[in-house]
């Protein structure tokens, strides 16, 4: 796919970066803009930042330097300054007034000359100053570092509107994560980095411009897909010398409690502490790399890490998850009824759940809709009822309706029937997103007729239940990968759709918790290694897969264990 418009302009590589930063500094100082959009979020992040802005690469006066990060500076009160010294894990801000702000933004988009300018170049500010002998730019581990990315037009003028979608990749041999990006709505973007000291080392730091000017939100955005790598460099995270500052130590993650699922969005990471260098795919298409007795390295997870078949990779967020043994899983789920409502990657998760976690080795496929009681292999006195209702279309064989499937009375009735009698499901796992990306003409329509109607529908079902209410988990949709980064269900659109759905379900007080499938899948979305673009959980197969033999399915399996954790935590 080719970019469009002014995308032909050369973007700076690593070598020209340093010079360019110097040259554009003055430009940045001369331009100001409003950043009303993410004020609430920005304040939240600002409170997590270190007290003083990190050193700027060029040697300006301190007055100029402080003006470079004015928003951060202005946010500090005395209290904030103190809390800034206490190092903690970076967290996503709670979702607040999100739908309204995005609807306003999109409604206003196009109303000013600023909106009609394409980003041709970007510059990154706030990198620490390198020492003479340094090969890489160095960041200290533990602390949260704030960088500012500024977009310029083809004439080198700083842009004055937001809407660019930058995809950020921090990846090394044993750590992969995204870095949150905040659109300040004035052509600049705040990027936050944090590395745990145990993973000090050299990382690839890559920024790709997916879409500019909110173009990812179009119903058919393909022709707007930019896919420009605006930065691709290596940087080094170094351990701070052991010193006076015990405060710079990050607290250990703890195992997720039910409280932890109340967060609206996650910032997590994949880490690897165990590895089998000679592992390859087996005849079944599986990656049985680690000993089945191998345990997780604390605090990144608890349980048998080998069960993920990830060759050591494991995901954690603001807390760590449990990897379930078959025994633990049955102990928790015996006699329970779990209801799934979602798209085809939800269907994959259900299959993987039966296959890998509950021990139904021979189940290689499940239908899009079913309601079945499964008896434990080897002990039929134990059972679990699983209902799965595909919602990509009101007709289970079709696609691309998403939440519009609820316009169909027969489909609504089919779903509602499970909640009319007694008993009702013990837990419900909801998801939507990819098919919505194709169906809805614009954001407003999705918010009102899609998300709004879905919330009404679920509210009416749940309010009608007499007795114990099911535990309702909303699982946000995946970050689509490779070719699908430019598709109608691209990450820019899905991130916004996810947040709108979470906000609306929360406002209606329907959710017990959120599981953030977007953050989980994000670090693996740059290529086809772990997905075909829209499914991370295809069944293992010893067959050709985008130029390699076999594919990685562990990302979805991790999701299944996180859902288990959500279902089983007291
Ligand atoms: C940078 O600025 C500081 C203080 O403003 C000064 O002491 C130092 O000599 C400057 N360094 C260079 C390389 O100009
Ligand atoms: C929500 O955001 C809009 C801007 O889109 C703003 O006008 C409104 O005051 C905000 N509401 C609250 C409660 O902050
Ligand atoms: C935003 O405005 C620009 C400029 O008018 C336009 O090119 C773009 O298509 C708009 N984006 C959306 C999602 O409507
Ligand atoms: C964090 O966990 C590690 C490994 O279990 C342990 O060695 C370390 O002391 C813990 N640190 C804190 C601050 O609890
Ligand atoms: C590494 O993985 C291979 C499978 O590809 C397996 O045969 C071997 O036993 C594993 N090595 C260890 C030390 O677990
Ligand atoms: C799977 O199928 C094989 C061959 O039919 C059978 O021997 C085995 O018991 C089955 N496993 C389970 C868990 O049902
Ligand atoms: C669903 O769509 C398929 C394919 O178009 C069609 O054959 C089938 O009759 C439809 N089913 C229902 C219940 O409408
Ligand atoms: C995006 O660009 C990368 C190279 O920078 C290329 O490998 C990839 O195929 C492109 N993706 C699409 C969907 O065009
Ligand atoms: C795919 O991911 C696995 C797990 O991280 C890795 O070992 C393998 O090298 C990757 N393959 C490619 C082609 O990137």
Do 335 and 434 have their domain in common? yes
pLDDT of residue 83: 37
Same domain (yes/no): 371, 226 = no
Q: How far apart are CA 413 and CA 67, in angstroms?
A: 59
* Rounded-to-integer distance, Cα 308 and Cα 561, Å: 9
- Predicted local confidence at residue 85, as pLDDT: 52
Atom of ligand 7 nearest to the CA of 395: 1
Percent residues over pLDDT 70 in the chain: 84
Residue 24 lies in a domain: no
Give the CATH number for residue 459. Answer: 3.40.50.1110
Residue 299: is the preceding peptide bond cis (ω within 30°)? yes
CATH number at residue 77: 2.60.40.10
Taking the C-alpha atoms of residue 247 and residue 440, their distance in angstroms, rounded to an integer, is 48
**pLDDT confidence of 240, banded at 50, 70, 90?**
confident
Of all ligands present, the nearest one to the C-alpha of 377 is: 6
397 shares its domain with 497: yes
Q: Residue 97: is its pLDDT beyond 60?
A: yes
Whether 348 is in a domain gets the answer: yes
**Rounded Cα distance, 483 and 106, in Å:** 25
Provide the residue range defining the domain that includes 71: 51-238
345 CB-near residues (< 8 Å, 6+ apart): 431, 434, 477, 478, 534, 535, 536, 537, 556
Residue 3 domain-assigned (yes or no) = no
451: nearest Cα among 432, 470, 438: 432
CB 521 within 8 A of CB 178: no
With respect to residue 23, please indicate whether it lies within any of the assigned structural domains: no
Q: Write the pLDDT tens digit of every residue in 266-298.
A: 999 999 999 999 999 999 999 999 999 899 999
- Together in a domain, 218 and 342: no
Q: What is the pLDDT of residue 249?
A: 78
- Of ligand 5's listed atoms, the one at least distance from the Cα of 282 is 5
Note the pLDDT tens digit of each residue in 20-67.
444 443 333 333 333 322 334 444 554 444 333 332 223 333 333 333
Flag whether 16 is in a domain. no
Q: Is residue 498 part of a domain?
A: yes
Q: Which residue's CA lies nearest to atom 9 of ligand 4?
A: 252
Give the model's pLDDT for residue 416.
98
Residue 507: is its pLDDT beyond 60?
A: yes
Helix or strand run (H / E) with residue 558: helix 554-568
473 Cα to the center of ligand 2, angstroms: 27
- pLDDT value, residue 132: 82
Q: Tens digit of pLDDT for each residue in 321-372? A: 999 999 999 999 999 999 999 999 999 999 999 999 999 999 999 999 999 9
Ligand number nearest to the C-alpha of 414: 7
Question: What order of strands is seen across the sheet that includes strand 427-430?
Answer: 369-376, 379-390, 337-342, 427-430, 471-475, 513-515
Which residues, listed in sequence order, are joined to residue 182 by a DSSP beta bridge? 190
Local structure of 142: helix, strand or coil? coil
Say how many domains are in the chain: 2
Q: How confident is the model at residue 248 (pLDDT cuts 50, 70, 90)?
A: low
Alpha-carbon distance of 344 to 352, in angstroms, equals: 12
Domain finish residue from 196, 220, 238: 238
Write down the mean pLDDT value for the chain.
86
Average pLDDT on 486-500 reads 98
From 210, 238, 266, give the residue that closes a domain: 238
pLDDT range class, residue 484, cuts 50, 70, 90: very high
Domain final residue pick, 238, 273, 294:
238
The beta-strand segments (E) located in 77-164 are: 121-125, 137-140, 145-152
* 456 Cβ closer than 6 Å to some ligand 4 atom: no
Could you write out the three-class secondary structure of 224-259?
A: HCCCEEEEEEEEEEECCCCCCCHHHCCCCCCECCHH
Ligand nearest 490 Cα, by number? 8
Tell me the mean pLDDT in the region 109-126: 90
In three-state form (DSSP H/G/I as H, E/B as E, the rest C), the secondary structure along 375-399 is EECCEEEEEEEEEEEECCCCCCCCC
Residues 196 and 89: their CA atoms lie apart, in Å, by 9
What's the confidence (pLDDT) of residue 243?
A: 55
Indicate if the pLDDT at residue 386 is higher than 60.
yes
Domain assignment present for residue 59? The answer is: yes
Q: What is the mean pLDDT of residues 174-178?
A: 98
Among 159, 223, 230, which residue's Cα sits nearest to residue 9? 230
Instruction: Output the pLDDT for position 156.
Output: 86
CB atoms within 10 A of CB 39: 17
**Candidate of 362, 363, 375, 379 to mutate for ligand 6, largest count of ligand atoms within 8 Å of Cβ:** 362
Q: Are residues 192 and 157 in contact, defined by beta-carbon separation less than 8 angstroms? A: no
Burial group, residue 553, by CB count within 10 angstroms (0-12, 13-18, 19+): buried
Please tell me which residue, 510 or 123, carries the higher pLDDT value: 510
Please indicate, yes or no, whether residues 494 and 394 belong to a single structural domain of this protein. yes
141: in domain:
yes
Best residue among 392, 393, 395, 398 to mutate for probing ligand 7, ranked by most atoms within 8 Å of CB? 395
Judge whether residue 82 has pLDDT over 70: no
Q: Is residue 330 domain-shared with residue 217, that is, in the same domain?
A: no
């Amino acid at each position: 796919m080719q970019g469009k418009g002014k995308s032909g302009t050369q973007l700076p590589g690593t070598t020209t970066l340093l010079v360019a930063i110097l040259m554009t500094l003055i430009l940045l100082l001369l331009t100001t803009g409003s950043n009303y959009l993410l004020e609430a979020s920005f304040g939240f992040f600002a409170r997590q930042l270190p007290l003083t802005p990190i050193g700027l690469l060029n040697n300006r006066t301190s007055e100029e330097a402080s003006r470079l990060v004015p928003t951060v500076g202005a946010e500090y009160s005395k209290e904030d300054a103190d809390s800034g010294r206490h190092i903690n894990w970076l967290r996503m801000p709670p979702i607040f007034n999100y739908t309204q702000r995005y609807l306003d933004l999109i409604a206003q988009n196009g109303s000013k000359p600023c909106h009609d300018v394409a980003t041709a170049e970007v510059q990154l500010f706030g990198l620490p100053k390198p020492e003479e002998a340094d090969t890489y730019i160095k960041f200290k581990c533990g602390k949260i570092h704030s960088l500012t990315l500024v977009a310029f037009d083809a004439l080198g003028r700083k842009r004055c509107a937001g809407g660019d979608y930058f995809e950020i990749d921090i990846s090394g041999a044993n750590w992969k994560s995204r870095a949150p990006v905040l659109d300040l709505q004035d052509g600049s973007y705040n990027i936050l980095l944090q590395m745990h000291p145990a993973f000090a080392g050299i990382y690839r730091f890559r920024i790709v411009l997916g879409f500019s000017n909110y173009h990812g939100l179009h119903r058919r955005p393909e022709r707007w897909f930019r896919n420009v790598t605006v930065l691709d460099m290596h940087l080094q995270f170094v351990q701070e010398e052991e010193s006076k500052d015990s405060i710079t130590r990050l607290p250990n993650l703890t195992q997720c409690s039910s409280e932890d699922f109340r967060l609206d969005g996650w910032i997590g990471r994949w880490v690897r502490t165990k590895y089998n260098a000679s592992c390859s795919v087996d005849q079944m298409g599986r990656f049985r790399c680690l000993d089945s007795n191998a345990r997780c390295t604390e605090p990144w997870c608890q349980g048998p890490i080998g069960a993920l078949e990830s060759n050591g990779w494991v995901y954690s967020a603001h807390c760590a998850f449990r990897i379930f043994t078959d025994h633990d899983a049955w102990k928790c789920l015996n006699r329970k009824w779990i209801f799934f409502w979602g798209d085809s990657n939800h269907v994959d998760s259900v299959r993987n759940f039966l296959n890998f976690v509950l021990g139904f080795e021979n189940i290689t496929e499940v239908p899009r809709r079913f309601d079945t009681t499964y008896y434990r292999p080897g002990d039929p006195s134990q059972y679990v009822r699983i209902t799965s209702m595909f919602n990509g279309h009101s007709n289970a064989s079709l696609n691309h309706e998403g939440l519009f499937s609820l316009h169909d009375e027969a489909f609504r009735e089919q779903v509602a029937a499970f909640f009319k009698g007694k008993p009702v499901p013990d837990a419900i796992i909801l998801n939507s997103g990819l098919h919505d990306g194709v169906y809805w003409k614009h954001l407003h329509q999705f918010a009102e007729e899609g998300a709004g109607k879905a919330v009404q529908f679920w509210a009416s079902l749940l309010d009608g239940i007499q007795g114990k209410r099911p535990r309702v988990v909303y699982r946000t949709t995946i970050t689509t990968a490779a070719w699908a980064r430019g598709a109608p269900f691209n990450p820019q659109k899905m991130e916004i759709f996810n947040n709108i759905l979470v906000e609306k379900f929360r406002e209606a007080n329907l959710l017990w918790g959120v599981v953030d499938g977007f953050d989980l899948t994000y670090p693996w979305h740059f290529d086809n290694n772990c997905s075909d673009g829209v499914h991370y959980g295809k069944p293992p197969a010893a067959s050709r897969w985008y130029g390699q033999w076999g594919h990685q399915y562990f990302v979805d399996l991790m999701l299944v264990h996180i859902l288990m954790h959500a279902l089983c935590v007291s």
